[in-house]
Amino acid sequence: MLELLNQLGHFLIPQLLPPEPLQIGFFLIIFGLAAYTCRGLSQATPANWERNWRREAGPDAGDLDIEHGSVNDLSAAVATRQEKLADIMPGMLLIVGLLGTFVGLGMALDKASTILSDASGGGNVDAMMGNLMSMMHGLGSKFKTSTWGITAFLILKSYSNHKNYDERRLSWCIARMKSEVDRRKAEALQWRQDANARIVEAIGALVDTTKVIANAQATTQAEQHASMVELLRQANEKQVAQLRDIALQSTQTRDAIESFVEGVSGSTAAVAEAANGMAEAANDTMRATTELQSVIGELRAGMKEVLGDMKHDLGATIKNMGQQFSENMDIVSTQLGNAASDISTSVNKLSANVDATLKGVKDSIESAEATQAKAFASFETTSETLNVHIESMTTLVNKLSGDITGGLRSVATTGQKIGHMSSAIGETLEKIDTAATAMKQVAKALQEDAGQDDLLKSVRSIDRQVSDLIGKAPRAASPKNRPGLDA
């Protein structure tokens, strides 16, 4: 057993006497790198990993996300150079050992080839055998480098498993990732809480501002409503006063037209009386003409009787002709004088009656014209005053309409009612214009003496239109047409 250990030790230890530079070199390289690697694994600590984490992650180390890779990728990223070297060093040492073996075998084969070449040339056989024996003696040592590489490989793997730096680094990365995730969750939660708090504060400020604005708007609207109600009340009072003036002027117009109607009625009565006088004069003339015709008839009968008597008794007639002729001529003369006197009296009476009738008609026409002119002047004055009030009312209504446009819906309804009232006043003006036209027709009928029927029709038309006008004026001023204003 001891001999076996000695042989194993002799095989594993490089040949120092005589020194073998190749073995010594490979031995130092293999075990030096193995020792350096084992020593470097002592730097696989969380502090170095933290430093590599900071260096790899940069200044924004906390801004981790899934795009940075998996935990294994992050574990490989924070590994130190010694850990990375420890991962590849066992395989490299194994390859270096194999390289030494192949180099030694190659050199031994070259040496054997040289010996065999010399032996084929007829050289010393003993020397050749000695060289071959020495080559065969050193041939086993060529596998030392491979053994050293395998030994270093096993040593490094065992040491790595003992240190367990991979699992420790992976656990550290998992813990670090968890802490980063927890920190980011806490930051996100805090940010959401801060954002919610800011939103709540903003909502509170907005609510306070809304309350202030609502209170200001309510106060402003209340003031505007009060001022608008006051304006509407004043406008209502003005309109009522103007409508009262219109009603008063309408009453005056009605009184003037009534006086005009009374004057026209008086003129009509005078004309009727004159016509009656003319009719009586015509009757007297007819009676005088009838009496004249009867006298002429009697004269003709007497003449026929005289001529008959003259025919039967010419002599007697001629004898008594002078006397009878004288008597007849006296009678005829007397009757003709009476008839002429009656005719003259009738003609004089007719002339006087016609003169009186014409004078009465003239006076009636002049009185009617004066009354009509007075009524027309009063009507024109009333119309002008009414137009002035209507223009004032229209201006006031337009102003109120402009003020009411931005107001409440009830104020808009008031504007519509005022528009209806303006339409009613416009219709009243049209009625007044129609009445003026009818009065002009009356004046024209009086001037042209067109007849009693046209005059009565015109007077009745005027009376009806004035009655409609007077009836509408109170209705226009009644509260039923002013619901919006009273509101």
Assign 3-class secondary structure to 243-281: HHHHHHHHHHHHHHHHHHHHHHHHHHHHHHHHHHHHHHH
pLDDT score, position 483: 41
Do residues 172 and 262 share a domain?
Answer: no
d(CA 273, CA 277): 6
Domain-located, residue 219:
no
pLDDT score, position 471: 56
Distances (CA, A) of 63 to 47, 56, 59, 74, 185: 20, 12, 9, 14, 12
Do residues 268 and 141 share a domain?
Answer: no
Domain-located, residue 20:
yes
Domain-located, residue 189:
no
Domain-located, residue 208:
no
Identity of the amino acid at 405: T
Domain count, the chain: 2
Domain-located, residue 206:
no
Do residues 175 and 249 share a domain?
Answer: no
Do residues 138 and 11 share a domain?
Answer: yes
Domain-located, residue 211:
no
pLDDT score, position 189: 93
pLDDT score, position 288: 61
Which of 182, 206, 236 is a domain's end point?
182
Do residues 251 and 392 share a domain?
Answer: yes
Range of the domain at 146: 2-182
Domain-located, residue 138:
yes
pLDDT score, position 36: 92
Residue with tokens 């367990």: 164
* pLDDT less than 50: residues of the chain: 62-66, 450-452, 455, 459, 470, 473-487
Do residues 377 and 243 share a domain?
Answer: yes
How many other C-beta atoms lie within 10 A of the C-beta of residue 267? Answer: 23
Computed over every residue of the chain, the mean pLDDT equals 72
Domain-located, residue 124:
yes
pLDDT score, position 485: 37
pTM for the full predicted model: 0.37
Do residues 310 and 401 share a domain?
Answer: yes
